């Protein structure tokens, strides 16, 4: 007899917000299908956290074609905009990086969690995957409040595709990414359902956009 899978609040690509957990409700939250995007979990208090699946990209001029490898100039724009967006969101929701620092320092087992399986691959000699700059922007936001030993990071590892956090305990479960070779001799992802967890979509009071268009310079919703 199979073990029932644990439901978790699922944060979709390009979405995120501050979440509040009721004392009598499950506190599992997570995301999946990360490759070049960045998943981030910031514990704020015993009942609150920030979670996002941040999708940043650049757009070819006069087209609707988006790409993930960016120039240093484009990457620095992502790095600048990320902490500004986080600061604005935190202020609107009544918390700050200091609250995150206090939460991870209180001995409750919680840490900041960051994941980007394809973090900083280089293309054409001078273009780097955008996840590196999102990560640097998040760390700029936290700087001086959260030490490096309180950050659990999962970078440059294509064997994972997401994670689920038990906010009550701080325990982090990694979601495996499987691959297979297609008829062209290329590796492609196999997105099977996880055997331990099942998604519970965040349908109520939906999360805000966390998708950044480098060229336009603004955050937008999916699609």
This prediction has a pTM of: 0.88
Residue 88 DSSP SS3: helix
- Residues 147, 95: Cα–Cα separation, whole Å: 18
- Which residues span the domain enclosing 194? 12-214
Look at residue 2 and tell me if it is in a domain.
no
Question: Which among 3, 11, 4 has a CA at the least distance from the CA of 200?
Answer: 11
Residue 157 DSSP SS3: coil
Contact 86, 141 (CB under 8 A): yes
Number of structural domains the chain divides into? 1
Query: Both tokens of residue 29?
Result: 């939250």
Contact 164, 8 (CB under 8 A): yes
Query: What is the tens place of the pLDDT at every residue in 165-221?
Result: 999 999 999 988 776 777 777 777 676 666 777 877 765 456 678 888 877 766 665
**Along the 223 residues of the chain, how does pLDDT read in single tens digits?**
467 888 888 999 889 999 998 876 768 999 998 988 999 999 999 999 999 999 988 766 555 656 778 888 888 999 999 999 999 999 999 999 999 999 999 878 899 999 999 888 777 667 788 899 999 999 999 999 998 889 999 998 888 889 999 999 999 999 887 767 777 777 776 766 667 778 777 654 566 788 888 777 666 654 4
Look at residue 5 and tell me if it is in a domain.
no
Look at residue 223 and tell me if it is in a domain.
no
Look at residue 147 and tell me if it is in a domain.
yes
Q: Which residues of 24-47 are buried (b: 16+ CB within 10 A; e: fewer)?
A: eeebbbbbbebebbbbbbbbbbee
Provide the pLDDT for residue 104. 94
């Amino acid at each position: 007899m199979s073990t029932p899978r644990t439901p978790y609040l699922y944060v979709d690509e390009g979405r995120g917000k501050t979440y509040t957990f009721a004392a009598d409700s499950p506190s599992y939250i997570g995301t999946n299908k990360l490759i070049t995007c960045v998943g981030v979990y910031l514990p704020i208090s015993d009942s609150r956290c920030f979670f996002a699946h941040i999708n940043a990209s650049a757009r070819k001029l006069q087209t609707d074609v988006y790409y993930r490898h960016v120039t240093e100039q484009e990457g620095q724009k992502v790095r600048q905009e990320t902490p500004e967006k986080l600061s604005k969101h935190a202020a609107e929701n009544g918390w700050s990086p200091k609250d995150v620092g206090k939460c991870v320092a209180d001995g409750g087992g919680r840490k900041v969690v960051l994941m980007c399986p394809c973090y900083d691959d280089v293309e054409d000699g001078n273009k780097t995957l955008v996840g590196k700059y999102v990560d640097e922007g998040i760390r700029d936001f936290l700087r001086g409040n959260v030490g490096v030993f309180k950050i659990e990071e999962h970078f440059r590892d294509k064997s994972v595709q997401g994670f689920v956090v038990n906010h009550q305990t701080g325990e982090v479960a990694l979601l495996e990414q499987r691959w297979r070779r297609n008829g062209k001799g290329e590796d492609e992802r196999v997105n099977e359902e996880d055997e331990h967890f099942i998604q519970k979509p965040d349908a109520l009071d939906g999360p805000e956009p966390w998708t950044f268009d480098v060229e336009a310079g603004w955050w937008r919703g999916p699609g």
